Amino acid sequence: MRIKSVAFIFLSVFFLLVGCSTNETVDSKLALPEDLPDFVQKNDFEKVDWNRTVTEFDTGTRDDMVGNKNKIGIIGAELKPNKVEKWLWHFWGIDQGELTVVGYNKDTSKITPVLSDDVWSKDGVGGGKIEGADASFPSNVVLPEVGKWALLVYIDGKLFDILVYEVKE
């Protein structure tokens, strides 16, 4: 009985230490910018599925939408580092709101605004149904460097979806 107790205590302490050290590594690697909106939390970045990259899909009216079908679709050019591109965002499941887009680079852990005028958020998602979506929003977007990027998309301060893009030269 005593050996089982010692083994249980040893394993409990081991898993506690491993769990804490893993969290500290993630937390120390991720530095949130001071001007980042308060509703963006560190645990939002842990929700990124780096294997779930954006895909091209058909909406019934267009077959060149890129994003996550039935959630977010984008019509626009492929992103290149430091090149401003015009995108028309399409949203399913909402009809209006304030858009916030946070870019997160997998390799460098850089966190940056995606909207090209260096702001995190813009109001104006809406416009009625277009291309099969419930709402839309035009914007200019830019990312500063190559790599795999997660775009954390918030509507009215709530995480709505995450788009994963590969930005190449």
Q: What does the pLDDT look like over 47-97, one tens digit per residue?
A: 999 999 999 999 999 889 999 999 999 999 999 999 999 999 999 999 999
Other CB atoms within a 10 A radius of the CB of residue 39 amount to 13
**Does domain 34-167 sit in CATH 2.40.30.10?**
no
Predicted TM-score (pTM) of the model is 0.83
End-to-end CA distance of the chain: 63
Q: What does the pLDDT look like over 10-46, one tens digit per residue?
A: 434 344 334 443 333 345 578 999 999 999 999 999 9
Other CB atoms within a 10 A radius of the CB of residue 44 amount to 16
d(CA 145, CA 135): 29
Q: What does the pLDDT look like over 127-148, one tens digit per residue?
A: 889 999 999 999 999 999 999 9
Q: Are 101 and 137 within 8 A, CB to CB? A: no
d(CA 167, CA 149): 7
Domains of the chain, by residue range, sit at: 1-30, 34-167
Q: Are 139 and 85 within 8 A, CB to CB? A: no
H helical segments located in 30-138: 42-45
Q: In the 8-state DSSP scheme, what is residue 77? A: P
d(CA 103, CA 126): 22
d(CA 152, CA 132): 22
pLDDT at site 127:
84
